[in-house]
Chains A and B, each alone.
Chain A
Amino acid sequence: MAQLVATLASTHHPFYLKATTMPPEQQLPEAPEWKRKVEAYRETLERTKPDILVMIGSDHFHQIFLDNCPQFLIGKAERYDATFYNEEREFGIPKYVLEGDEDMSRFMHQALMNQNFDFAFSNELKIDHSIICPIITVRPDADLPVVPIYTNIFAPPLHTPRRFYDLGRAIRKAIDDYPSDKRVAAIGTGHLSLELGGPRQFMETGPDPEFDRQAIEWLRTGNIEAILENVTHESMAASGNATHGFLNFILMLGVAGPEGADYVDNLDLFHTMEAYFTWYPKEQAA
């Protein structure tokens, strides 16, 4: 059976590449520290020598729109183009082509259907920065096949935090059951407190630093009970109108299982709290 070798969950900041590659005299004062932290986080993946990456993200109205909007979607294609024109324009993110793994996508899709997750699928998926940002940060050579999974964190009504956690558990089971000798890493991105297009955007900190500290502590300790007790759609909206990206962190905790993280780091940037987590399956850590 396939082996899950690491679960990574982080924020995805679309300006990372631009912020750390522009001429040093124009960079933010935080840029060198940001780069160091991202490279240390990258090493937590590198050391596990993965063969396939299961990537969890959320399309930001690039390919998916309100005329046809799935809650959960899996890509099933031999390769994936990435980065849309407006992401190049706004963030300076380059185009990529990522190899797919159709066999694992097919298995994953069926395994998730078998566990009562009615996944939409796409045989021609162009992926956006929610998946390319972590490629840039943790696998910049973009040299591994991916199985992309999208969640709707954006167009209400959204699924519950519990449903996201359960989906993470189901993805974990599908990886564990995949008949292959491949080493699989699961990599997901979302947000802590975040405001976009509202009165609390682009402040000196994220819109709710108290939530950010609490959320990092919950994830560090793997405390899914506390998350499910405290995090609701209303509480996330109160922490910032785009805070629902935290649902993907809850999903990733489902992939890892309710356990403490093996690697935790964070960085207070000018309008968000960046955070980086890695879990190693316990039987391997021993």
Chain B
Amino acid sequence: MSKYYVNKFLYTVDRDPELLKRYTEDPRNLVATWEQSLGPKLLNNEVEASSVHAFTAEEREALINHDYVALFEMGAHFFLNLTLFIGMYDEPYLLKSGPLSFQREFAAKLQHWRGKDYPTVET
């Protein structure tokens, strides 16, 4: 398991409009591209590679499926997990069901965690 790598994915996609668009429209391909050529780069360095991290099969599937519930349960950082999916779903939900409807659905899908200790986001 690599919470760090999942967070690195969420972080790098959220901050780049082109990657966000590709992740919205074709997540399977974007995840594959990311694993092949973006994830293995040291951050803020176009030259240096980093061989430390890789996704587990569960992490890869959760990212491909836009499965923010699974990502929460794996301990992905709550802020990254929220802000990236808001970036993709806030507007379509707003047009269909009104303000904050995506955020409320997100919360509703996590209700089984109410009153429990959440999975730690420590990496």
Contact = CB atoms under 8 A, between A and B. Distances in A.
Interface of A: 60-62, 65-68, 84-86, 89-90, 154-157, 196-203, 237, 241-242, 270
Interface of A is mostly: loop
Interface string B1-44: 00010011001001111000000000000000000000000110
Interface in B88-123: 90, 100, 103-104, 106-108, 110-114, 117-118, 120-123
A197 B81 contact: yes
A237 to B, nearest CB: 7
Q: Which of A67, A197, A242 has the most CB of B within 10 A?
A: A197
Q: How large, as a class, is the contact surface on chain B?
A: 35 or more
B79 A196 contact: yes
8 contacts: A65-B8, A66-B8, A154-B77, A155-B77, A197-B72, A198-B72, A199-B110, A242-B79
Nearest to B122: A156
Give chain B's interface secondary structure class: helix
Contact of A154 (B79, B111, B114): B79
Contacts, number: 85
- Rank and list the top 10 A-B pairs by shortest CB-CB distance, nearest first: A197-B78, A197-B82, A199-B110, A202-B103, A156-B122, A197-B81, A201-B107, A67-B43, A199-B113, A199-B114
Interface in B66-93: 68, 72, 77-83, 86-87, 90
Contacts of A65: 7-8, 11, 43
Interface of B: 4, 7-8, 11, 14-17, 42-43, 68, 72, 77-83, 86-87, 90, 100, 103-104, 106-108, 110-114, 117-118, 120-123
A53 B110 CA distance: 41
A265 B62 CA distance: 43
A84 to B, nearest CB: 7
A66 B86 contact: no
B30 to A, nearest CB: 17
